[in-house]
């Protein structure tokens, strides 16, 4: 029993070096890319779905407005984001994750801009550090994880504020209603101004406009 426990502790210690290596690779590659907007959403969305088409359109508009596009590198909405960026000859970045199912890198990522991680938390740091805005399409648990991590870090002032855009009011309205009625009004677990961190839109034009307006309003440049 003692030997097994010692082996576990040793493996944990060596894992630190693998984690460090993932951070180093991510920092070195992404620091060279320039201003980008990240598009999140479900890996399960088929290419004939309206949300896929909208993500593709949003990515193309983002590129035309001077940004690159970062996605999680996989299929579905992620593929749509990279495809839209590629269609406008923009920077198309894929921050992939090793999973036993679903996830394989899509063909629309620039070959020199794909990074594959083993650890979700390292991958999320890359999204946070190198994105000038989050476009959040309908998705599952992973999409919600990334959304709420960003909201938490901004709310607690661990990172500077940046625009967060939820696309698809029909999809998100139940969640937002619960946040407002239960979290805010009933339990008072957040402040009213926390709701201002979220923007909800229903078109590609409006999604990109939120990003542009944010940097114009706060007199900031979309840079690192």
- Residue 133 confidence (pLDDT) above 70: yes
pLDDT beyond 90 at 13:
no
Local confidence band at 6 (pLDDT 50, 70, 90 cut-offs): low
Helix 120-130 vs helix 141-155: crossing angle, to nearest 10:
50
Least confident of 14-18, 68-72, 78-82: 14-18
Q: 208 vs 5, which has greater pLDDT?
A: 208
Give residue 102's pLDDT band: very low, low, confident or very high (50, 70, 90): low
CATH of 2-217, one of 3.40.50.450, 3.30.230.10, 3.30.70.100, 3.30.300.250: 3.40.50.450
Query: What does pTM read for this prediction?
Result: 0.91
Alpha carbon separation from 140 to 61, 171, 217 (Å, rounded): 25, 11, 32
H or E element, residue 57: helix 50-64
Mean of pLDDT values over 32-49: 96
In this predicted structure, the answer to whether residue 57 has a pLDDT above a threshold of 50 is yes
**125-129 long-range Cβ contacts below 8 angstroms, 24+ apart:** 125/23, 125/26, 126/26, 126/30, 126/95, 127/38, 127/70, 127/95, 128/153, 128/159, 129/27, 129/30
CA angle 54, 121, 95 (to 5 degrees): 45
pLDDT band at 224 (very low <50, low <70, confident <90, very high): very low
Give me the pLDDT at residue 223, please: 44
* Top-confidence residue, 73 or 99: 73
> What pLDDT score does 104 carry?
78
Tell me the per-residue pLDDT of 160-181, one tens digit each, with 9 for 90 and over.
999 999 999 999 999 999 999 9
Q: Give the pLDDT score at 129.
A: 94
Q: How confident is the model at residue 147 (pLDDT cuts 50, 70, 90)?
A: very high
């Amino acid at each position: 029993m003692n030997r097994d426990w010692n082996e576990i502790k040793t493996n944990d210690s060596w894992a630190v070096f693998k984690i460090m290596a993932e951070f180093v690779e991510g920092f070195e590659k992404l620091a060279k890319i320039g201003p980008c907007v990240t598009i999140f959403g479900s890996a399960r969305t088929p290419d004939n779905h309206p949300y896929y088409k909208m993500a593709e359109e949003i990515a193309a508009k983002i590129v035309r407005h001077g940004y690159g596009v970062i996605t999680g590198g996989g299929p579905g909405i992620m593929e749509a984001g990279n495809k839209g960026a590629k269609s406008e000859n923009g920077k198309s970045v894929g921050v992939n994750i090793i999973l036993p199912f679903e996830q394989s890198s899509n063909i629309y990522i620039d070959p020199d801009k794909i990074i594959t991680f083993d650890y979700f938390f390292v991958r999320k740091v890359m999204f946070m550090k190198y994105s000038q805005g989050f476009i959040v399409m309908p998705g599952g648990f992973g999409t919600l994880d990334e959304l709420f991590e960003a909201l938490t870090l901004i709310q607690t002032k661990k990172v500077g504020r940046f625009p967060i855009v939820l696309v698809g009011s029909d999809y998100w309205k139940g969640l937002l209603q619960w946040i407002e009625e239960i979290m805010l009004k009933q339990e008072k677990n957040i402040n009213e101004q926390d709701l201002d961190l979220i923007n909800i839109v229903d078109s590609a034009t409006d999604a990109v406009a939120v990003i542009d307006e944010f940097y114009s309003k706060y007199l900031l440049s979309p840079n690192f």
